[in-house]
Amino acid sequence: MKIELSDLNNGSVYIGDKLGILTKFNFEEDSEVLWTGLQLLTNPPCAKELQIAKAAIFSRGNFESGEYIRNRTILIKNNVVPTIKNRNLEYYIKLILRQPHPINPDDDLVINKTQKIEIKSKAIGVQTKKSNPISFSLSGLNINLTKDVFKPGETIKINFSSEELKEIEIRLLQEANLICYCDAYGQNCRKVEKLPPAIAGDAKTSNVEKGFLLLKVPEIAEPSHSYVWEAQEKEQWGFKFGDYTRWSLRVMGKLSTGRERVKFDIPITIVSKPVDEAKIGEDFFAGRNSAAPSLFEGLSSKLQKVFKIT
Same domain as 168, residue 104: no
Same domain as 196, residue 250: yes
The pLDDT score that the predictor gives to residue 265 is 95
In which residue ranges of the chain is pLDDT below 70? Answer: 123-128, 184, 234-235, 273-310
| CATH number reported for the structural domain that contains residue 182 in this entry | 2.60.40.1930
The pLDDT score that the predictor gives to residue 276 is 52
The pLDDT score that the predictor gives to residue 127 is 53
Q: Tell me, yes or no, whether 127 lies in a domain.
A: no
- The string of pLDDT tens digits covering residues 247-275 is 999 999 988 787 778 899 999 999 986 55
The pLDDT score that the predictor gives to residue 187 is 75
The pLDDT score that the predictor gives to residue 26 is 93
Same domain as 74, residue 23: yes
The pLDDT score that the predictor gives to residue 273 is 63
| CATH number reported for the structural domain that contains residue 283 in this entry | 2.60.40.640
Residue 40 near residue 74 (C-beta atoms within 8 A): yes
Residue 191 near residue 185 (C-beta atoms within 8 A): yes
Please name every residue paired with 32 in a beta bridge, in sequence order, or none if there are none. Answer: 62
The pLDDT score that the predictor gives to residue 47 is 78
The span from the CA of 119 to the CA of 153, in Å, is 25
Same domain as 118, residue 67: yes
What pTM, to 2 d.p., does this model score?
Answer: 0.78
Same domain as 85, residue 14: yes
Count of domains forming the chain: 2
Same domain as 211, residue 150: yes
Structural domain span for residue 8: 2-122+278-306
Same domain as 264, residue 225: yes
Same domain as 282, residue 269: no
Residues in the chain: 310
The pLDDT score that the predictor gives to residue 287 is 41
Same domain as 224, residue 155: yes
Nearest alpha-carbon partner for 77 in 227, 251, 216: 227
Same domain as 140, residue 223: yes
Same domain as 284, residue 194: no
- The string of pLDDT tens digits covering residues 186-203 is 777 888 888 899 999 999
